[in-house]
Amino acid sequence: MTNIYYVYILSSETSVLYVGVTNDLRRRLEEHRLGRATGFSKRYRTTRLVYFEETADILSAIAREKQIKSWRRTKKLSLIRSANPKFRDLAEDW
């Protein structure tokens, strides 16, 4: 069985961005939405899934998360817009 890892970006109502990595995107998003994810995400209420990528390699996922986190906000927004121009919540139908 191949594991899938996700690098994801969440947004708040005020467009604060959060970048994370997980092996279960649905579970992790639920944790964010229910306030179980402590720290930055809980403080800024980043609950809308606006971008994600999949990979089968955890080291690649972690490296990509760190890469995206190091980017300026404008570059992160460009990445999101390239896949999700309207910034819709990609998990709204889940």
pLDDT, tens digit only, all 94 positions of the chain: 679 999 999 999 999 999 999 999 999 999 999 988 889 998 999 999 999 999 999 999 999 999 999 999 999 999 999 999 999 999 998 8
Predicted confidence at residue 93, as pLDDT, reads: 85
Domains of the chain and CATH, by start: 5-83 (3.40.1440.10)
Find, among 6, 15, 29, the residue nearest to 73 by Cα. 15
Predicted confidence at residue 1, as pLDDT, reads: 64
Predicted confidence at residue 37, as pLDDT, reads: 83
- Cα 2 from Cα 83, distance rounded (Å): 25
- Cα 44 from Cα 78, distance rounded (Å): 21
Find, among 19, 75, 86, 74, the residue nearest to 52 by Cα. 19
Question: pTM of this prediction?
Answer: 0.95
Predicted confidence at residue 43, as pLDDT, reads: 93
Predicted confidence at residue 31, as pLDDT, reads: 94
Predicted confidence at residue 19, as pLDDT, reads: 98
